[in-house]
Amino acid sequence: MSQTYEEILQGMLDKVPSNVDKREGSIIYDALAPCAYFLAQQQFQLDNFVELVFADTAVGEYLDTAVSDFGLTRKGASAAIRQVTTSAAISIGTVWGINELAYTITELIATNQYKAKCNTAGTIGNQYTGSMSPISSVSGVTATLGDVLTAGTDIETDDALRARLYNKVRMPATSGNAYQYKQWALEVSGVGDAKVFPLDSGPGTVTVIIVDDNKAISETLPETVAEYIETVRPIGATVTVTSPTAKQINITASVILDGSKTIGEVETTFNTAIESFLADTVFSSYSISYAKIGGLLLDTVGVEDYNGLMVNSGTGNVTIGSKEIPVKGVVSLTEV
């Protein structure tokens, strides 16, 4: 049975003769304390050694080692691609800043509209909008940071990496079958899930639809995935990588409040819950449950009861097509 640091240290001090000063801060105490600490650490590592070896329970660098046996590596962070609108034409490659973040202009979209890549990888690049300041030598031009075109993502989490391992082990990929195309898509940083349609446009064709790490549609990610799949796929197949079609889920209801929250606070909380619920159904369900939406509303803090719940103007489940994903539309709650 493992001992704590305190137990190890006390056991060591008990072996020291009683005529020796062994109070905290004494020479013998200060000499034994580091040794007791490292012995406790070693016991902890030994106790958890088995869990750190197997992919089911490994974490961090230990999980990296476990999945490497299956040819997997953790996906790194990716940079956000944003839309920048300017008051006049600017050069590709100029750099603009907002809230200590820098964005480099990479491509012209339309007149005075550009794609810009955040110089810092991760979700932080998705956060800010508004007026930008030139970092490059630019004068007489204003710029505004707008929509997220491709969301920046943080380094792949342990849970996501483990899920990719399970997907690879449980869905054998061979000779360019559907499972393999899904695995290839998931290897690209920023891809949260993928769905494959073999023979989608006839013999020798494959369609792959993808969503980002937030289970949302990305404008630029399909092109990146397509370029990667072209480097690894078998010769012969014609591959199309695209985004799913968004199906808006609009919700209205009359709400009876319990007095603890305002209708505005309830609506904000409910919106967040709906976004999370819809994201969890992406590529895994072909209908959005009317009853579950009602349950989410009833579980929202501040709601005592509701009536007149309408989902897409109806009172039944909403069907989601095979190439669609549900996205939150207009959510309107009124107080009774």
Could you tell me the pLDDT band of residue 128, with boundaries at 50, 70 and 90?
Answer: very high
**% pLDDT > 70, the chain:** 99
Average pLDDT, the chain: 92
Residue type, 14: D
The 10s digit of each residue's pLDDT in 63-82 is 999 999 888 999 999 999 99
The 10s digit of each residue's pLDDT in 21-38 is 999 999 999 999 999 999
In 3D space, the residue among 130, 124, 64, 56 whose CA is nearest the CA of residue 96 turns out to be 130
Residue type, 103: Y
1 pLDDT exceeds 70?
no
The 10s digit of each residue's pLDDT in 185-237 is 999 988 999 999 999 989 889 999 999 988 999 888 999 999 999 998 877 78
Is pTM, for the whole model, over 0.75? no
Q: Where are the alpha helices (DSSP H) in 3-132?
A: 5-14, 27-47, 49-53, 60-68
By residue count, the chain amounts to: 336
Question: What is the rounded CA–CA span in Å between residue 312 and residue 292?
Answer: 14
pLDDT at 245: 96
pLDDT at 82: 95
Are residues 102 and 118 in contact, defined by beta-carbon separation less than 8 angstroms? yes
142 pLDDT exceeds 80?
yes
| Helices then strands, each counted (H, E), the chain | 9, 14
The 10s digit of each residue's pLDDT in 244-279 is 999 999 999 999 999 999 999 999 999 999 999 999
Enumerate residues 6+ apart whose C-beta is below 8 A from 6: none
Is residue 58 packed enough to be buried (19+ CB in 10 Å), middle (13-18) or exposed (0-12)?
Answer: buried
